[in-house]
Structure 1
């Protein structure tokens, strides 16, 4: 019983810290209409601002996450939670145009690289094997909780505070996350692993099953973060073209859409357990692809129909999330799991960078103020998850080389 309670306490601590640390996650997506107007940004420039967060992530993640095979991931988490706080404070205090904003938002993404997957590694290193899959599902689902809360509090507070003050609040929340892990999680001994991380990288790069999961995660993140990066802007455009109570509070709808990630991700992992991971992923990813196109085509619908369709689509984008991550973890031996997670994050969050940028480029190409432009933009999301489905199709033909002992 005490071991079970200890596992639950660990999961609760890391999930709470993750949710709090993500208070600033939706600041740029939520403020994108305002910042675009204030700084006279094109849709492509706005897409770069939304996506640069994930470029910072992918620059740092190979180093930071692979280091967790050699040092306690808790140490990396604490340092990067502090860095996130500095980046949020710097954006609020010093960003006054596109390029300064890009620099600070890139740094915030680097902070995420040292908290999200290292947090997962620190958690799974401390959990018994039997609890790791479901612990992973709850932790990855909490990403959606944190993102949803971020949209929600920003929607509620932004009318009362100037936007730089919102970043100060996010910086304080990053400090709180640091405190939660520092006080609530004991240090762990250094793992006895091979010190030559180049060997680790060679091992994971040869494993085609792990690469298939990485490709699936690339497509998942392309779709998910392209959608989240532009959802508030899309709802704001819809409300300007046809005012309606459903779209008058775009941050609230974005929060609801993001909260749906939690049950969808957990149910997705359970579905993968019941029906088989490969079969599940190859079913839900085409569903999400079709719904992306449906949302793009449905802009002329009554808002009573369109907004529920957006929420259904939002849920579908997360049916594969925990199933992909848990699949990678169960396919990887403990000694190289940090390196495998580093590659997974690197490839996956490259998709998170591509998604918002491709969305903005399509908008500029086909018309930011036309339904055709938004349809083209949503079609880029369908392309992203289609790439992920293609990668997952390689699972059946790919032998595994890093099965856990």
Structure 2
């Protein structure tokens, strides 16, 4: 069940809310002031406390069991319960939070026990991440970066046959608002033959879509493409922080290592597949001459309905802007339609060799740049490898991120006649290296 596009909530701040109207209802883990972490649902300016709701007997039957699974200090058990449990709880939440609900007076009597102001709460990672995989499905990013190193042949031959990815570091995934320390590492400055050790000088961001895995698979048993979407619990925003100078020295022959593993920031709310259903669309057609995906990666229904139309935004807030009380400035505007492979194709490919996926595993889409410079979703692209600075409206310039800079990622789903749905913010500020 989805809330109709005209449905209103008895929680006034939800009606017309840019991120969290009744039609969204994302799940997360939060701590109220002076209390322990527990599961909740974002609705307007508030968090609906699932622990309190369960204790008050607001859910019944299968919805109560699903709410219990979602009310703990991580959503792993809720993810493991699968799509049916998720939909059942969503249906119950829509009924409880809709205008005219028969339980409205009882819920209002619970007051701040049930509805916590978001601004007063601390948000945590929504799940314990067992494994993290970063894909590379943003084709324009792959082409732009490839041109910097291989102008005549930017894409390697395998790109259009296989969803490229690498295993990242789950232990350094942090929620929005966590400060990120500039990493130290080996680099090879221009004109020298021996590497040096010290702080990264080419700190960068990467705008990505995060994908949370729900039910997993048995080791040795692949997830078929036709059923892959059912293994996705929800979505978030993801900033794959990158130390470009460290990466340039270390990545051959095995790819990123210390240049990526120091931090990955995600937005704390899990936007469900059900909330995004109105914003699904056909996967963009491949350019003429591109190969057809191999059979294990091709499903007609996925091609017709497996892409997401989500507007993505990168903003930069510098120390000077903060000091002068200026708003963060947008430096890129892109869209998830820039993905060459669908999320279902990523799941199918990841498991086709028998790899076991588990509830709470996290995927990154790869950097989702568009075709035009104003949609380039990393400074590496925006500055052509540091050659042309980004000039901000206050006159400041950036080739790469400086200490004190803060990156803010936002996302919005829009459709005529339908409330907008957002993801909340994914933000992180750079601290100096130790």
What interval of TM-score do these two structures reach, taking the shorter chain for normalisation? Answer: under 0.3
Computing the radius of gyration from Cα coordinates, the structure with the larger value is: 2
Q: Pick 1 or 2: higher relative contact order, CA cutoff 8 A, min separation 6.
A: 1
Question: When you count helix as a share of all residues, which structure comes out higher?
Answer: 1
TM value normalised by structure 1: 0.27
TM value normalised by structure 2: 0.26
